[in-house]
Amino acid sequence: MCGIIGYAGLVGGAAERVYEGLLRLEYRGYDSAGISVLGEGGITTIKRSGRVSCLEKAARELGGNIAIGHTRWATHGAPSDVNAHPHNCGVFSVVHNGIIENYSELKEELAAQGKKCVSETDSEVVALLADSLYCGDPLAAVAAAVRRLRGSFALAVLCSGFNGFIAVRQKSPVAIGVSSGAYFAASDVPALPDEAEDVYFLEDGDIAVVTPEGIAFYDSALNGQKRISCRILRGQFTADKGGYAHFMEKETAEDARTVRDTAEAFLRSADVGGIANLLKGADEIIITGCGTAYNAGLIARRYFEEALCRRVSVEIASELRYYPPPSGKNTLVIAVSQSGETADTVEATLRLREGGASVIAVTNCGYSAITRIAHMVVPVCAGAEICVAATKSYMGQLAALYLISRCTGDVAAAAEELEGVAEKLEEVLSQEERAVALSELFAVSFAVFFLGRGLDYDAAVEASLKLKEVSYIFSDAYPSGELKHGTLALVDENTSSLIIICQPQTAKKSVSAVHEVLCRGGEVAVLTTLPDVARELEDFLPVWLLPPVEPRLAPFLCAAALQRTAYLTAVRLGRNPDKPRNLAKSVTVE
Ligand code: F6R
């Protein structure tokens, strides 16, 4: 959701370093991009609508020691050259990730002083405001401007005549990596160059002044702050396709490894007793997240309900933040987020915590906003996930949530079960001809419905999201019992239905759904772990028989099969699965 970069180094090539960082950060937004470089004659800016690569030639020519850059996911104003960042005014050049909520009032106020915005963005007001408050001290001007801003923002600011840049964090992430002779700021760690091993994570309200000689941290009143850097293991964060055609392909191939690493980390470091006490002591348990993370919560709810013999709720974070439960006291919130920075998940969790709830965060990013809110953090060990569509992180979320749900019982046995799952995931990915056949069916369908009951329905919800976001084929998921309550009206020869049948207790019911769709002329395929079901259906429709597994663990296998199928469908239709249109990774705005 927009990415910002800043660079301050003793040697030249700043624009090129920023350009390379933007390429690594492009998954956060890819409708336009720009770079500003500080030179002796002032600031030079290049910005264009389109992909980061359109800046390559100019970036190689610009040089400089200090530069900032931006890759955009439009919120205010269409993707265009003029709306691209950086935005300049007077001595300032600004890149911004987030939303300035009071930009309209500020725009009016600045216009009355004769300072007019040229773009339709909310971000441009930051440059205008800083310039209007400038009396020769760039830090004072930026801090004064920040005090006037409402909303979420990560900023990198250049000021003509000042040999450095200023970075600001308010609810949108900023990491600053240090290598010898250079400082590098970015919205996400994978955008930092490999040599920047020591990383500072700005706190909300921080202002960092970064020069080639060092960093100083302040709060918005300009009181000095002490921040401690962390050493980051670079291997964990590499943003490299590793020989695969796309990140999505590489990342789905890492599903099994993610389950193993997540289980191993849990056994090594989780406070099993502490988690068990939270589970046993809570009056209410709420799992929350957005998108795929929410979908992992749907599966997890069944795990918790089975293990604890009680009701557990799963709430979409963007709803929960405005419609919290009446009493927050003695509530346990399990907040699930790959990035740990999703604005709605962070805000919903914060609100419940402020009302007295305990919080367990399940996240792939150990230094994220959600970890600062949580009482306890359970890591998902997926490593850097660059494809916008979540794949291996979902697998890791399922593994972590499964282990949390087993904390009142035998966690070691649950981890062993997950080792078995990991082996089967490798088997699923070797059933390539099945995924190819299914992708051929989906690619010619006007719409694809995913159906199932119980955990199979929960798995269907994620499968549907994955297919629609990377292939742009209309898709939805339904409990198969709901078909005749409306959805059946949509079934015809141009639609396909994928029916997931892995829960023995409702298998017969789901087989009936197969027949209901078939006799209305719809295309049907079945995904099952149950050999009996496969035998019954395989003579008259495509059946993908997955390796046998405990029914409650079947969602792991379904996800791997359907992630791969979604990928193949997208590629077959000529889509770029890594960068679906209109989407971006890390939704740091509401
Ligand atoms: C879908 C997808 C999104 C994210 C959602 C939450 O493939 O990637 O739906 O799952 O935006 O993101 P995190 O997990 O970072 O909070």
The 8-class DSSP code of residue 171 comes to B
Q: Worst-scoring range by mean pLDDT, 24-28, 102-106, 377-381, 582-586? A: 582-586
Confidence category of residue 240, pLDDT binned at 50, 70, 90: confident
Question: Ligand 1: does its nearest atom lie under 6 Å from the Cβ of 291?
Answer: yes
What's the CA gap between 116 and 299, in Å, rounded? 51
Which of 251, 252, 255, 342 has most ligand 1 atoms within 8 Å of its beta carbon, as the pocket-test mutant?
A: 342
Q: First and final CA of the chain: distance in angstroms?
A: 11
Contact between 173 and 188 under an 8 Å Cβ cutoff? The reply is yes
Question: Ligand 1: does its nearest atom lie under 6 Å from the Cβ of 83?
Answer: no
Nearest to 237 by CA among 71, 367, 73: 367
* CA angle, 435 then 437 then 440, to 5°: 110
What's the CA gap between 590 and 575, in Å, rounded? 27
Whether pLDDT at 412 is above 80: yes
- What pLDDT, on the 0 to 100 scale, is given for residue 326? 79
Structure tokens at 46: 């290049």
Nearest to 168 by CA among 129, 135, 195, 196: 129
Q: Please write the tens of the pLDDT for every residue from 197-237.
A: 899 999 999 999 999 999 999 999 999 999 999 887 665 55
What global pTM score does this model have?
A: 0.89
- The amino acid that residue 507 corresponds to is A
- What pLDDT, on the 0 to 100 scale, is given for residue 234? 62
Question: What is the average pLDDT score of the chain?
Answer: 95
Q: What own/partner pairs with CB < 8 Å and gap ≥ 24 does 146-150 have? A: 146/170, 146/207, 146/220, 147/220, 148/102, 148/106, 149/100, 149/102, 149/106, 150/100, 150/101, 150/102
Which of 314, 581, 587 has most ligand 1 atoms within 8 Å of its beta carbon, as the pocket-test mutant?
A: 587
Would you tell me the crossing angle of helices 554-572 and 432-443 to the nearest 10 degrees?
60
Mean pLDDT of 130-153: 97
Contact between 500 and 528 under an 8 Å Cβ cutoff? The reply is yes
List the residue whose alpha carbon is closest to atom 16 of ligand 1: 337
- What pLDDT, on the 0 to 100 scale, is given for residue 237? 56
Whether pLDDT at 75 is above 90: no
Which ligand 1 atom sits closest to the C-alpha of 289? 16
- What pLDDT, on the 0 to 100 scale, is given for residue 442? 98
User: What one-character-per-residue DSSP string does 449-500 give?
Assistant: EEEESTHHHHHHHHHHHHHHHHH--EEEEEEGGGGGGTGGGG-STTEEEEEE
* Residue 427 neighbours by CB under 8 Å, 6+ apart: 547
The number of CA neighbours under 13 Å toward the Cβ of 65 is: 17
Contact between 429 and 564 under an 8 Å Cβ cutoff? The reply is yes
Catalytic center residues: 2, 585
Rg of the chain over CA atoms, in angstroms? Answer: 25
What spacing in Å lies between the alpha carbon of 337 and ligand 1's midpoint? 7
Q: Please write the tens of the pLDDT for every residue from 459-513.
A: 999 999 999 999 999 999 999 999 889 989 999 999 999 999 999 999 999 999 9
Whether pLDDT at 327 is above 80: no
Q: Please write the tens of the pLDDT for every residue from 175-205.
A: 999 998 899 999 988 889 888 889 999 999 9
Q: Please write the tens of the pLDDT for every residue from 28-70.
A: 888 899 999 998 889 999 999 999 999 999 999 988 999 999 9
Question: Ligand 1: does its nearest atom lie under 6 Å from the Cβ of 584?
Answer: no
Confidence category of residue 165, pLDDT binned at 50, 70, 90: very high
Which ligand 1 atom sits closest to the C-alpha of 338? 14
